[in-house]
Amino acid sequence: MSESGETPTAPRVVVLGGGIAGLAAAVALAGRGCPVTLVERDPPPPDDRDQDPFLAWRRRGVPQFRLPHGFSARARSLLAAHAPDVLERLKADGIEEINVFKQLVAPELWRPSDDEFTVVWARRSAFELSLRRSAEAEAGIRFLCPAVASGLRFDRSPAGPRRVTGVRLSDGRELEADLVLDCGGRRSPVSRWLAAEGAHVHTDIQDCQTVYHSRYYRFTPSCSMPRTAVAILRGELESVMFLGFPGDHDTFAICLEARPDDPDMRPLRHTWAWEAVARGIPEVEPWIDPANATPVAEVQTMGGHHNVRRRYVVDGAPVVLGLLPVGDAMCTTNPAYGWGASMALTHAFAAAEAVARHGSDLSALALAYDAATSAEADAVYRESAAMDRARIYRSTGQEVPEHDRAEMERQHLIAESLAAGVFADLELGRAFCRRVNLAGPADVVLDNPDLVEGARKARDRLTAATSGAPVAAPAAVSATVPAPVSATVPAGKAGPTREELRALVLAARPRSTA
Could you tell me which of 332, 27, 316, 375 has the C-alpha nearest to residue 181? 27
* pLDDT at position 293: 97
Could you tell me which of 251, 228, 227 has the C-alpha nearest to residue 105? 228
* pLDDT at position 35: 97
* pLDDT at position 502: 95
Give dist(CA 343, CA 209) in Å, integer: 22
Residue that terminates a domain, selected from 398, 426, 452: 398
Give dist(CA 349, CA 56) in Å, integer: 29
100: in domain: no
Give dist(CA 466, CA 339) in Å, integer: 33
28: in domain: yes
* pLDDT at position 419: 62
Distance from the Cα of residue 144 to its chain's centroid: 26
Q: What are the residue ranges of helices labelled H in 397-491?
A: 405-412, 419-421, 426-436, 449-464
Contact (Cβ atoms closer than 8 angstroms) between residue 441 and residue 420: no
* pLDDT at position 467: 46
* pLDDT at position 375: 96
Provide the residue range defining the domain that includes 335. Answer: 9-45+124-207+307-398
* pLDDT lower than 50: segments of the chain: 1-7, 466-493
Same domain, residue pair 35 and 131: yes
Same domain, residue pair 136 and 228: no
78: in domain: no
Could you tell me which of 438, 445, 343, 441 has the C-alpha nearest to residue 72? 438
Give dist(CA 471, CA 387) in Å, integer: 23
Residue that terminates a domain, selected from 398, 433, 464: 398
Domain count, the chain: 3
The residues facing 207 across adjacent strands are 306
Q: How many other CB atoms are there within 10 angstroms of residue 313's CB atom? A: 17
SS3 for 151-220, per residue? EEEEECCCCCCEEEEEEEECCCCEEECCEEEECCHHHCCHHHHHHHCCCCCEEEEEECCCEEEEEEEEEC
Contact (Cβ atoms closer than 8 angstroms) between residue 410 and residue 461: no
* pLDDT at position 489: 37
* pLDDT at position 481: 31
14: in domain: yes
Same domain, residue pair 275 and 261: yes
Same domain, residue pair 135 and 39: yes
Same domain, residue pair 228 and 215: yes
Beta strands in 259-342 (DSSP E): 293-295, 300-302, 306-311, 313-314, 317-318, 320-321, 323-325, 331-332
Same domain, residue pair 155 and 282: no
* pLDDT at position 420: 63
Same domain, residue pair 148 and 31: yes
Could you tell me which of 392, 324, 439 has the C-alpha nearest to residue 77? 439
Contact (Cβ atoms closer than 8 angstroms) between residue 180 and residue 365: no
**CATH number of the CATH domain containing 337:** 3.50.50.60
Give dist(CA 322, CA 162) in Å, integer: 9
* pLDDT at position 514: 53
**pTM, rounded to two decimals:** 0.91
80: in domain: no
Residue that terminates a domain, selected from 364, 398, 432: 398
